[in-house]
A = this chain, B = another copy of it.
Amino acid sequence: MSDRVVPPTARQRRRPTKQGVVLSEELIVETALRLIEEHGADALSVRRLGRALGADPSSLYRYFRHTDDLMLAIADELIGRTLRTWRPTGDWRADLRDLGLRMHAGALAHPRAAVLSSFRVTGRVYEIQAVETLLGVLRGAGFPDAEAVRIYHAFVDQALSFGALDAAGAALPRAAREAETGVWRATYARLPADTHPNIAATAHHLVADMRRSSYPAALDLLLSAAELRLTEIRGRPEA
């Protein structure tokens, strides 16, 4: 049944569904994104999406081979949206920080899509654009090529992987998510000092810190280390 999907360009006859909706790849992706945003990540199922569109679930298989296909289409749309409004200022550290936070926020806004797409290399236009821009920022800052690539790689993977990590947490059913934050309060904060001295001493900090994403802190650490490298390099340019 893999010949069921017709490439979007070749699509010509658009018959409205029983409920009068004219389907299209774009409409499906948009509706899916809206569904995720409004009713949580697990609201996205072929059947629910069909219902939301006013179409039979099986109709969607005329546009996407399977749900994974749909997820990738959604992810692609997300990359575009993240990059579309970003503009470099010339301050490499501020630029990288801004971009990192945007990528992370983009992932959190659409957790399911982020989780599925974070580890894929698409080789598509937006991704290429991002690589070029990022490398430009780093080389412009004065990092030698090998170092720029090394830091680019770490930076991107950090943004993607933290994005996915936090997105996965956000995509958890509400009950499970609340249970997790409760664990720090109910379990860790109550461990006695004689058996777990370090946890007991920092319990207050743990409860406060662990409910937040560690990405901003990790990002700042990475940028600090990069800046340190840069000053070392400038000190001995031929090293």
Interface pair B162/A128, CB less than 8 Å apart: no
Chain B, residue nearest A186 (CB): B123
Q: A120-B180, A225-B225 are in contact. Are A199 and B135 (CB under 8 A)?
A: yes
Per-residue 0/1 for A156-169: is the Cβ within 8 Å of any B Cβ (1 yes, 0 no)? 11101110111011
Interface pair A150/B217, CB less than 8 Å apart: yes
Number of interface residues of A (CB under 8 A): 63
Per-residue 0/1 for A214-226: is the Cβ within 8 Å of any B Cβ (1 yes, 0 no)? 1101101110111
In the complex, which residues 190-233 of chain A have their Cβ closer than 8 Å to any Cβ of chain B? 191, 196-199, 201-202, 205-206, 209-210, 214-215, 217-218, 220-222, 224-226, 228-229
Interface pair B68/A176, CB less than 8 Å apart: yes
Dominant secondary structure at the A interface: helix
Which residues of B have CB within 8 Å of A202? 135, 139, 145, 148-149
Interface pair A205/B146, CB less than 8 Å apart: yes
Chain B, residue nearest A204 (CB): B145
